[in-house]
Structure 1
């Protein structure tokens, strides 16, 4: 579709990390279409625009302004969407979806487009891709894989700002239950099993009991 090509061109020059690159956006787009189909919802131009532009502003995970990134992305998307010919109503719908997609923003999605985008983005944090992304981000931030003294936080508090593995319990494995759509919950639950399988294998390799996460 030409609209997709226009959106791809609009992303040229956007500063992103390896976990929020064009590959991520294409996967989220595929997830969004799968969710829409599962929910019996037509894919709108507002949803397309929101998916492709949701990470226009993507600072590092440890940036103090990270919680504001989705709001900043929404504002950055407005003129792009206008240039692409979306109506004021479509732009408002897309920008709300962009602002609400972020885990850290804490904005409740109010439209079907926002619910689909939030689920589609979170699905990319699960499964085989999600497993790769969490360690890609951890490597960029210089975070060790796990605490050698207590890998699965049995006798300490969870701290995913220090240990990469803690992020599974702090966020990733909680995502399926928090999905906004039935289709998102179903796909998320299946992908979460990939992460649990990895944790069980890791526990075996390092000689400790698997976590109860």
Structure 2
């Protein structure tokens, strides 16, 4: 005779196995040619609702202007990022890809930041860049390299990374990201420019600074 406990274990095994088969049968790829974003839809989903394909035009898959240099004088770090994501090309919706152009003034930086939803692959079009990223705790290993025109470098998803123009002229890079909306968290802005402020006591202890220094930094990032 089979015990009641054995029967229960057998049933649990069958149920869990069936659940795995159902999960494996899920299609996580697009099930149509495209899903052009309908920015006017009131429906909120993880992504954007599809526009009726009958009203889609070639302009939903197009943008221009990446030949125009970004204005690097608008901030103190000396860089400008021109983003080509689903907000700029609605046809990118569900395709999991986007693009940026990064312009650097001499010795300008793209400050340390992360992309929570994407890995980045960058190629230098003009100039010379020092780039790098930092691995996760506890190693916190700094991996860095100098790139020249035509060189390519990868920044793994979620890791803090940066680029710096180390030449005396302007520099330009193009980067691809495997998300239509990769997101960006600039470390200094997020920590010292949070809305509302993170407690100065917390930041002072975390960064081993005095409260007055923290308050001054928070004013700079208001």
TM-score range, shorter chain: under 0.3
Tell which structure's C-alpha radius of gyration is larger: 2
Q: Which has the higher helix share?
A: 1
Q: Which has the higher strand share?
A: 2
TM-score, reference length from structure 1: 0.27
